[in-house]
Structure 1
Amino acid sequence: MAAAETSATAMGKGTLVLACLVLAFTNFMVVLDTTIANVSVAHIAGGLGISSSEGTWVITSYAVAEAICVPLTGWLAKRFGTVRVFAVGMAGFGVFSMLCGMAWSLGSLVAFRIGQGLCGGPLMPISQTLLLRIFPKEKHAQATGIWAMTTIVAPILGPILGGTISDNWGWHWIFFINIPIAAICAFGAMVLLGKAETKVERTPIDTIGLVLLVLWVGALQLMLDLGREHDWFGSSFIVVLAVTAGIFFSFFMVWEMFEREPAVNLKVFRYRGFTVSVTALVFAYGTFFASLVVIPQWLQGALGYTATWAGYATAFNGVAAVMMAPVVAKLSTRVDERILVSFGILWLGATSMIRVLWWTSDADFWTVALPQLIQGAGMPFFFIPLTTLALGAVDEEEVASAAGVMNFLRTMSGAIATAIATTVWYDGAQGTRAELSGVLNGTEQTMQSLQAHGYTVEQSRQVVSNLVDGQATALATGSIFTTAAIVFAAAASIIWLAPRPKHPVAAGQAH
């Protein structure tokens, strides 16, 4: 802490403000890129000549790469210096953003998104670490507040910016806009944060653990992403991926349990409160994140929304979250965290059921946007107290390791749930369409009526087909959110298996 105070006092007020802006903008941009592509999948799919389900690989590849890199953050900061890692990561993020915008095929775009995720993974925790390092201890709450605000606002603006840019400039520009910000932030970090650099240490790294992690996570995500196109376990390739993921996961678990300096400290799962809290987080966050991907695709594919308006509709999710976050922060000091978490997750489940009841193939904008706004009010009740409940369950010296495991699993749950949900959604829509086609009544009369109004035979047939597609997709969407409500209810129930936290979680410990 002495080093932190020295760094803070050595900085002039103007330098401190500029350094704060650099760190805040960096965190904003990295978080923004987790949602900016959600509403652009249709544009990317059309531009590269791929299906929309393949387009979601752009989202999952970034999330998986980011998750894999989280366990490396602490080692990188110690081995090369916090500021150097930050600056190089920021520069790499900008380079890979440029390459993403220049991508010529799905394979190249996924590869560059992986590079972007690997560079961006350490930036989120390091940006907060540096904020706490340059500010004096008595201002850590304000510093954490600045950091948290960028984390909350970025997902709101992501869909809006992604939709507006894709509709007006082209999907490539959702990546190109990162380049000037990355260049300025990387340069600013080297110039402004030099005095906040940490001491370099030659610390060991769990190479075998990291290799096993990459192998099982990579095989699992490939299996989930490619399963639909290869008829799942009817394909020997998918079977090989599944077996590979299972084998390397087993080796990873055994290795990490006995490694002295593990890449992922699995020993924190010996705490019941942590295990229960993280289990609830994985299922609830994964379900929530998957909905952020499915909803824009339904709006654009079935309801005819542009990417811009799909962004507006989905962005309402974050508006109420920003308003309720301070309220939840105050309640967290007075109310049992388990009550707040359970209430927040049940709120997410209730809004899922509202979607099931309200959303139809002819739903208007506010029918779509209002559940998003309502859901946002419950999000802080879920995220904020759950962090306290999980990290407050472990010994204080293990909080950093527990936070790393928690963030890794949170990010992975989003990627895995997205792959599963989009597959179930697409397959469900196709299956429902086949069922509806077999029970249609009055098709010939409808087509004759359309032809009497000037439609050709082919045009009238297409109108009927589009109506069936719209109804099938709406029913499949309702089925997805019915399942989501069940998952949320289960996650809200198991949180009561966790004990009250053993100690408070200090500002900044969560990351």
Structure 2
Amino acid sequence: MAGPSGHVAHPPLEGAARTWGTIALSAATFMNVLDTSIANVSLPAIAGDLGVSPNQGTWVITSFAVANAIAVPLTGWLSQRFGQVRLFIASVLMFVAASWLCGLAINMPMLIAFRALQGFVAGPMIPLSQTLLLASYPRAMAGLAMAMWAMTTLIAPVMGPLLGGWITDNISWPWIFFINIPVGLLAASAAWGIYHKRESVVHKLPIDGVGLGLLVTWIAALQMMLDLGKENDWFHSPLIVTLAIVAVVGFAFFLVWELTDEHPVVDLRLFARRNFWSGTLAVSVAYGLFFGNVVLLPLWLQQFMGYTATDAGMVMAPVGLLAMVLSPVVGRTVAKVDPRKYVTFAFIVFALVLWMRSHFNTSADFRTILIPTVVQGVAMAFFFIPLSTITLSGLGPERMAAASGLTNFVRITAGAVGTSLFTTLWENRAALHHAQLAEAVNPGSPATQSAIAGLSASGLAPDQVMAQINRLADQQSFTMAATDLFWLSAALFLLLIPLVWLSRPQRMGAGAADAAGAH
């Protein structure tokens, strides 16, 4: 059956085909998202093995992120030119090949180049897995489809550091890339077997070379600014100022060009839809807050609470427990309940979790730190699925790949911004708290005299005593800075709630999305 713009509307899959299709698409998505975080804890080992500094090693993360950010919004245009199924399978197979090359890299330039290749070919994988999965289910079950998809995209970033740390400690770092090979080959073969007869209509669109060039320019400049800002003292550095100017000017030209070009490489006109812009903005800001906290908590635990990488991973891992249990429930009921109510509940739970973390102190035990993480799983289940439902509601199937690619791009970029902002604010707040604590540490203070006497009695020399006091002040100041950010995040989640209610989502059942051709 032909739909709008010549789109062929395939009937939903049934039975075993739908089950295996869901598993194949989810496995590919999990593998992709896992690779955004699995290398983080392995950086010291990679840098040491390849003979470079840890700062140079961060380009292993940066190169993947820059290339991935460029490729994701191209998904709509590429899928129209080559077909959704062919593009997805090619993306998975090229990702497997790039992962194999990453594992074989013998020096840092090779690894950075192969990671950039891996990030670029991975771009279409996540949006297309979402698009193909939605097409596999009846409209009334769209929420359940999104639940299956959301579980992989939310749990993988948490599992990445845990799995990466274990592989690095017990095998060797190349295996964080080699494990993608069997998963990717199985996912590609299963997906091809199920979906190759469900290919979308191909349009021989002209290449928007100017739009593509501008996209590459401003995204690369923005991502490099975010990644290099902290170590270069942000806007005190001419390099960061230059990158910021290139990003802003490039984005302005890109915006004008894409809105006036007949065949834009990115369909920015989607932002004219109220549901799309409000849903995308809400999910992106919330994801930036979520991801910033996902980065901050293990950093604090490892640097100032004495946790190993594996222990910090164990604290983060249970976040997926309640998410896995509740996501299918949300998916089955989101068509019957106003998704805005679910998102509101999720943001309130996120705020509660972060408020609980804002009461952490240096004597917090494992159980105290673990409880908010477990509760956070509730928020994750009610967060992603309803917001995706809101964002994509009212869109015809021919625009789904472009919409999914664009909203995922904004979300990924928000995650990068969140990470940079949180780590920078954490250090700035810690410096402020340290200065305030240092004022209280003086010879006239009874607490200072008591601490010096106690440490001296344990056999420490005077300079060792002061070093120990400074270390305690560092631990206290970074803990206070972390709790400041937890409290701020809680407040921001509550402030996001009105934004969600600006949308007017259509129900996913009874072909509502087909009827919603306009805003």
Residue 436 of structure 1: CA displacement? 2.3
- Mapped contact 1:156–1:316 kept (Cα < 8 A): no
- Mapped contact 1:4–1:134 kept (Cα < 8 A): no
Match of 1:126 in 2: 128
- Mapped contact 2:143–2:330 kept (Cα < 8 A): no
Match of 1:381 in 2: 382
Q: Describe the superposition over 1:397-417 as per-residue Cα deviations: whole angstroms up to 9, x where unpaired.
A: 644433332111111111121
Question: TM-score if structure 1 supplies the norm length?
Answer: 0.84
Question: TM-score if structure 2 supplies the norm length?
Answer: 0.83
Identity %: 43
- Mapped contact 1:447–1:460 kept (Cα < 8 A): yes
- What letter matches 1:227 in structure 2? G
Residue 152 of structure 1: CA displacement? 5.0
Match of 2:413 in 1: 412
In the alignment, is residue 65 of structure 1 matched against residue 67 of structure 2? yes
- What letter matches 1:486 in structure 2? A
Match of 2:215 in 1: 213
Q: For residues 329 and 26 of structure 1, do their structure 2 counterparts lie closer, same or farther at Cα, with a shift above 3 Å needed?
A: closer
Structure 1 gaps, min length 5: none
- Mapped contact 1:64–1:411 kept (Cα < 8 A): no
Could you tell me how far apart the structure 1 residues matched to 2:498 and 2:40 are? 30
Q: Residue 214 of structure 2: SS of its match in structure 1?
A: helix
- Mapped contact 1:66–1:411 kept (Cα < 8 A): no
Could you tell me how far apart the structure 2 residues matched to 1:103 and 1:471 are? 41
Q: For residues 104 and 349 of structure 1, do their structure 2 counterparts lie closer, same or farther at Cα, with a shift above 3 Å needed?
A: farther
- What letter matches 1:285 in structure 2? Y
Could you tell me how far apart the structure 2 residues matched to 1:49 and 1:366 are? 38
- Mapped contact 1:157–1:315 kept (Cα < 8 A): yes
Residue 279 of structure 1: CA displacement? 1.7
- Mapped contact 2:393–2:513 kept (Cα < 8 A): no
Match of 1:463 in 2: 468
Could you tell me how far apart the structure 2 residues matched to 1:280 and 1:7 are? 30
Q: Residue 319 of structure 2: SS of its match in structure 1?
A: helix
Q: For residues 207 and 198 of structure 1, do their structure 2 counterparts lie closer, same or farther at Cα, with a shift above 3 Å needed?
A: same
- What letter matches 2:468 in structure 1? V
Identify the match of residue 497 of structure 1 among 496, 502, 509.
Answer: 502
Match of 1:179 in 2: 181
Could you tell me how far apart the structure 2 residues matched to 1:443 and 1:51 are? 36
- Mapped contact 1:317–1:376 kept (Cα < 8 A): yes
- What letter matches 1:501 in structure 2? P
Match of 1:97 in 2: 99
Q: Describe the superposition over 1:6-34 as per-residue Cα deviations: whole angstroms up to 9, x where unpaired.
A: 9979xxx9999877654443222112223
Residue 287 of structure 1: CA displacement? 0.8
Match of 1:162 in 2: 164
Residue 467 of structure 1: CA displacement? 1.3
- Mapped contact 1:167–1:307 kept (Cα < 8 A): no
- What letter matches 2:427 in structure 1? Y
Could you tell me how far apart the structure 2 residues matched to 1:390 and 1:134 are? 19
Match of 2:459 in 1: 454
Match of 1:274 in 2: 276
1:76-475 aligned at under 5 Å gives the runs 76-101=78-103, 109-129=111-131, 147-151=149-153, 153-186=155-188, 201-357=203-359, 359-392=360-393, 398-441=399-442, 442-443=447-448, 446-475=451-480
In the alignment, is residue 485 of structure 1 matched against residue 495 of structure 2? no
Q: Residue 358 of structure 2: SS of its match in structure 1?
A: helix
- Mapped contact 1:39–1:307 kept (Cα < 8 A): yes
Structure 2 gaps, min length 5: 3-7, 515-519
- What letter matches 1:234 in structure 2? H
- Mapped contact 1:320–1:377 kept (Cα < 8 A): yes
Q: Residue 231 of structure 2: SS of its match in structure 1?
A: coil
Q: For residues 372 and 87 of structure 1, do their structure 2 counterparts lie closer, same or farther at Cα, with a shift above 3 Å needed?
A: same
- What letter matches 1:376 in structure 2? G
Q: For residues 63 and 342 of structure 1, do their structure 2 counterparts lie closer, same or farther at Cα, with a shift above 3 Å needed?
A: farther
- What letter matches 1:113 in structure 2? R
- What letter matches 2:425 in structure 1? V
Q: For residues 305 and 354 of structure 1, do their structure 2 counterparts lie closer, same or farther at Cα, with a shift above 3 Å needed?
A: same
Q: Describe the superposition over 1:48-74 as per-residue Cα deviations: whole angstroms up to 9, x where unpaired.
A: 66457x766654543443232123223
- Mapped contact 1:41–1:297 kept (Cα < 8 A): no
